[in-house]
Structures are given as C-alpha cells and as structure tokens.
Structure 1
Amino acid sequence: MKILQLSDLHYRSHYLPATTGYQAMLTKMENPLTYLDRAIEKAKEMTAIDLVLLTGDLTEDGQIADYRFLHEYFTKKFPDTPVMVTLGNHDIKENFYQGWLKNAPSSNYYNFVSEFDPFYLVSFDTSVYGNADGTIDKAQLNWLEEVLSAHQDKPVLFMTHHHLIAEQYATLNLPQSDQLWQILKRYTILAVLNGHTHYHYHKTVGQIPYYTADGLSFLGQDEGDGIVRFVQHAGFSLYEVKAGQLKETAREIVTSGKLLQKVDMRSC
C-alpha cells in the first residue's frame, strides 16, 4: 500500500495585505496551490497512490470557503483515493466541520478510526486554534487508550499534527507528548506521522517509526532573539506499507527555498 503525506498548506484564497511582520511574509509567499499541484503531479509520476494523508494546517486562518475549496480540489485530484485529514493550530474546528465535512459546526475534537487491509488509521486531533503548541486533555487520552485497546487485531498508523519530540525543532512540542508516548508504546503502532514544523524529520521512538513531513508553504528558521528567517519551502513524503512495516520510500522538495522575509516574532 502506497501512502502520500502532505502537510501544512496554510492555504488562503487571498492573503491579508500587510507591510510588516508575519502577515507581510505571507504576501511574499507564492500561492501554496502552485507547489501542491507540483507535489501531487510528481508523486503520481513516482507511484500509484492508495491513500492520502493531510496532517494539519490545511488553511492559514480557517475560513469556511477555503475548506470548501480544498475539499473540492482534493476530490478532483484523487477521485478514487481516500483523503484523510487531521487538524492543525491554524485550523478552526467549527469552520472545518462546515466547509470540509459539510456538517453542522462543532468544537469537538476531530478524531476518527478508519480500517484498511494492512492497518487501522487513527487520526488524533491536538489542535486548538490560536495555540501554536497544541494541547490535549484527559478525555483525549482516554479516547485514544480505548480506541487502541479495541483495535489490536492489526497495527495502527497514527497521524496527528503537532510534533512529539522536543529536540527536533526550535518550537515547543506538544506539551502532553510524554503522556501520549506512554500510551502509544503499549500497542502495536505501525508509525507516527505528523506535520507542524514544516521540515522533514525521522526517528525511531522505542520500536515506533516517527516521521514529520515537510510543509507545502514556508519554513521558519530560528536565528535567535525572536528573529525567524522565513523561506519558501514545499515538499512531500511517500511511504509503503508492506509485510506489516511502514517504510518511507521518498522525500521530495518541490520549491526553490528563496528568502521571503525575516520577522521579529516577538512583535507578532
């Protein structure tokens, strides 16, 4: 089974006009759809894709119309392929429920389990709009424990948005990462896939493969004293599940890495 992971689109139909700060950086960024198109075309050239995973921050600021557009976009790009989503800190749950799912608005965590022949996919929501580091409560941990306990006849592919390893990036990992790992290590986890940092990372935690995908918008490089150097950065990851194991088969960058702007994030 071949899996395509895409992450951190930060899509907005029109970015807000600005001359300084983070918003000004966004105005200098090329539209993420340019690189999303390129990533999907290249991935399809490389392999047949059986499953698409979107690991959060679909939008820049959670507009209903943007979710509607993206849902139609992915339906056209992958008419016969499941596209599964988890939410990031730039996503607004209520608007996602309306725009992507076409349901009534809800502030509930967007968690689900889907069954595929080689594994169960567990999508686990760590997002709170406006909270960059994400958070989960006791009810979330209880939900995960119950789900993993009830689905032990196959390995579980676990996807979420926030990174779970402190040393992998300058920004803070999910505050409840240790509690989450304690639960995951008690079960047969095929792999953990996530986004948020916009930069590729791989490690094995215990016996669990852990992968962070490149984003499809920009990359922030910490220069110290609150200064972040933003560059255009877009990429994707491909995986294969075979004989009960997940292996990353490709990591491709589809953008130039040009400088967008340096931003003092202390004033944002």
Structure 2
Amino acid sequence: MKIIQVTDLHLVKPGATLCGLDPLARLRACITDINQNHGDAELVIFTGDLSDTGEVITYRVLAEELAKLLPPFRLMLGNHDERNAFLNVFDTVRAEDGFVQSVEDTREGRLIMLDTLVPGRPEGRLDEARLRWLQQRLLEARDRPVFLFSHHPPFPIYMPLLDRMGIIEADALYALLKEHGNVRHIFAGHAHRPIAGSWRGISVSVLRGTNHQSALDFSPDRIAVTHEPPAYAVIFIDRDSVIAHFHDFLDRTAAYR
C-alpha cells in the first residue's frame, strides 16, 4: 500500500506571502508533483496546519487546489487551523463529537487520524472525549495493525521549545496504544523537520512542511525559520515493513544519461 503524507501548508490569502515564500504556489507544486509521480497512491493525508490564519478564504483556496489532486485525500487540523471555518468550507467532513477525527480501514490495517487542536494554543491536547474516541477506534481494530496520524508529535524530538508544544496527554495516549498492542507507526507534522526514530517501541516519523521549515537548533528558547526545501512523504506499508521516503518536490537536480 502506498500513501502520501503532506503537512503544514500554512496557507494565507492568495497573493500574500509567509516567511518570504508563497504557500499557495508551494502547494500547487506539491499537488502537481504528486499527480505526476504518485497518482496511484491509495490516499493522501494532510496532517494539519492547512491554514496559517484559520480564515475561511484559505480553506476555500485549499478546496480549489484539492479538486486537482488525483488520489483521494483526508484532511486533519493543526494548531493554526480553525475548526468552524474549516467545516464551513469542507461541509462533507463529518465532525466526531465536535472534532475532525476519522479512520480509514485498508488491507494493511486501520489508519487513525486524530484531532489534537486546542484553539488559540500551540500545544496539542487529547482530552477525555478524544481519548475515549480513540479507545473505541482501537477496540474496533481488535488484532489488526494500526497506523496513527497526529499533527502534534506525542514524542520528544529534543528541540526544547518544540517539545513544549507537543501533545500534553502523551502518557495517556501511550497507555491506549500499548493496550492495543499492534500500533506500528505514528506519523506527525508540526515540527517542520525530517525526523525518524521510535518512541517507547513504536516507530515514528515527522517531515518538513510545504512552505517554511524549522532550523535544526537545540537551543532551549528559540525556533529559527529556514528556507530548507519543502517535502512530502511517500509511505509504503505492508505486512513486514513501514517505509517513508521524504521527497523534496522542488528539487530538479536529478540528471539521467
């Protein structure tokens, strides 16, 4: 099974820039590249911060661009998003207990997409209602593999300021995942960094956004913005493995003779 992960679009009003870059132009280039090279993907998952401002116009622009995307897609929310504005535009998305959460059952297992958004706050939360929802979705999966998608990482990345903006209820989340016993990978965004490793025995990955990035800076009190290349992930999942390729989709340096 091949799926694509795209994260941290940070769309602003058309014609505006963010960090000296045009988020809409970057998104268009991303969609074009996916269509040209991965139109056969089973699903494209956008893991939050679709908008930078949460304005309705940004979601309308997003809807126009997604109409050009060949594979089916799922949308998740990040801390920059605004649920009501999002749901106003994407009115076919069904909110679960007021949250934009969903599952996708595939031949390789269940994909669970969380809503960790807390309005007006940079950190992520999984309150009692969202944890109950997740517990039920895990119970439904029974002995099937589960692959978790979350905007906020529940695991430390050892960049102190970003770690303070992770999921507050990480321990409670892990307790549910451990109880299920077959959660094979956690995919996250939010950090704007290419990161891979494991958290308490579960493999994890994070990737760059489609606009600006976070510098590799381990200082305790700052995050520097960089113009490192944007990327999306090409993910292959089968019975034996989870493999994620981070593709710098604006890189045109490859040459074949």
Give the TM-score, by structure 2 length: 0.84
Partner AA of 1:32 in structure 2: P
Matches of 1:227 and 1:186 in 2, distance apart?
Answer: 36
1:240 alignment partner in structure 2: 236
1:260 alignment partner in structure 2: none
Relative to 1, partners in 2 of residues 1:184 and 1:103: Cα closer, same or farther, differing over 3 Å? closer
Secondary structure at the residue paired with 1:185? helix
CA shift for structure 1 position 55 = 0.5
Relative to 1, partners in 2 of residues 1:130 and 1:191: Cα closer, same or farther, differing over 3 Å? same
From 141, 144, 151, the counterpart of 2:141: 151
Secondary structure at the residue paired with 2:211? strand
1:231 aligns with 2:229: no
From 29, 48, 54, the counterpart of 1:38: 29
1:189 alignment partner in structure 2: 183
Unmatched 5+ stretches in structure 2 = 252-257
CA shift for structure 1 position 2 = 0.8
2:83 alignment partner in structure 1: 93
- Structure with bigger strand share is 1
CA contact (8 A) 2:14 2:24 kept: no
1:211 alignment partner in structure 2: 205
5 Å-filtered alignment, 1:37-76, equals 37-47=28-38, 48-76=40-68
Q: Give the length in aligned residue pairs.
A: 244
1:5-55 CA-to-partner distances (Å, cap 9, x unmatched) read 100000012477xxxxxxxxx544221233233334444554432210100
Secondary structure at the residue paired with 1:108? coil
CA contact (8 A) 2:8 2:192 kept: yes
1:89-119 CA-to-partner distances (Å, cap 9, x unmatched) read 0001111111123579998111112222222
1:117 aligns with 2:107: yes
Give the TM-score, by structure 1 length: 0.81
CA shift for structure 1 position 159 = 0.6
2:6 alignment partner in structure 1: 6
Partner AA of 1:190 in structure 2: R
From 151, 157, 162, the counterpart of 1:161: 151
Relative to 1, partners in 2 of residues 1:38 and 1:91: Cα closer, same or farther, differing over 3 Å? same
CA shift for structure 1 position 213 = 1.7
The alignment-based identity, stated in percent, is 24
